Structure 1
Amino acid sequence: MNKTLKITLASGLLATAVTQAEETDTTLSAYAAGYTAGFTCSAIFNGDKSMEQIREHELSGIYSLIADRVAQMEPRVDEQNHWVRVPYDNGNRERISVWRPKLGCVDLPVGASVDDVKFVADPFSGHKKAGKDNGQPWKQKAEVNSVSSNTQLESVLQQAFTKKYGSGARTSAVLIATPDEIIAERY
């Protein structure tokens, strides 16, 4: 093989390797941004958590593949529109998670923008009942994060959010329900 052909092949392989490394870096950042957007959206709009609580409970102790990236990301919460946007790739792209009535949060796919929110934000338009969601199908529903009058249950609920269950154990939510009642819901 002549020298020029060898150099050309080597250059092509090097360019491919660099491109794949960049795609992998961008892909991992997209995973991390999506993870951050989704968990932040659910924790804020379903669990009424603060960013400090979210950083401690939802965005730490996670998959090592994306943990360092997630720790550096800054979610942008829009309380009025019920969405969370997380920029990545030096701010050139973002992942978006949108909270919807009766359904909770949904993560938009990679490449989606805020212009796409309208396709998922209100799937029940035209089919809304007057007033606040009553918790159906449950006939009774405990208030989110309320203290249980059952002292034994309350003790277990409190322990669920401690290190009682072992090193590295982490609880971000507890839901205790029967077909008729939500007995406890904690975040």
Structure 2
Amino acid sequence: MADFEWPWQYKFPPFFTLQPNTETRQKQLEAWRALILGFCRHHRVYIIDLAEYLDSPLFNNADIKRRLSEESIQAVLDELASTGHVEWIDKSKRRCYVFWRTPTEWGQLIYAWVTDSGMTGSVCTFFELTQGDDVADQPFQGLAEEVLLKALGTLQQAGKAEVMGTDGVKFF
């Protein structure tokens, strides 16, 4: 996997302090949104746990000795939640799902594979959908189970699938 390409703002010290000017802050939040989603997509991160990520390169640029404060991280993630790219897992806002693809987009990718593979009418386990040999070249290979369930939920609502128990799904 190629190295992640950091945006130019990542080397700009003020980027790590949320700006008070409304217009500047909005541009800064957009840059953080792009950075977080790009980083998570590149590294296939589906869940951010603040305990794990506070000191990670995502929020801490050791080269310029700057880090985004925990309060600012939560503000940035709240902004991502307002656009549907983050969903808080806990009330204390310490863990969240990161949707660099929405559950609907994941569902569409999965269903396209199901129809292209002639799998409609069959049952698949969650393991087969995310770890099986048949999906080795698919973008949803390795998808976190929690995100998979959300994606399958969108297919179930559309009448294209039925989640069966805790580890399987039937596609229509």
Q: TM-score, normalised by structure 2?
A: 0.33
Name the structure where helix makes up a greater proportion of residues. Answer: 2
Q: What's the TM-score, normalizing by structure 1?
A: 0.31
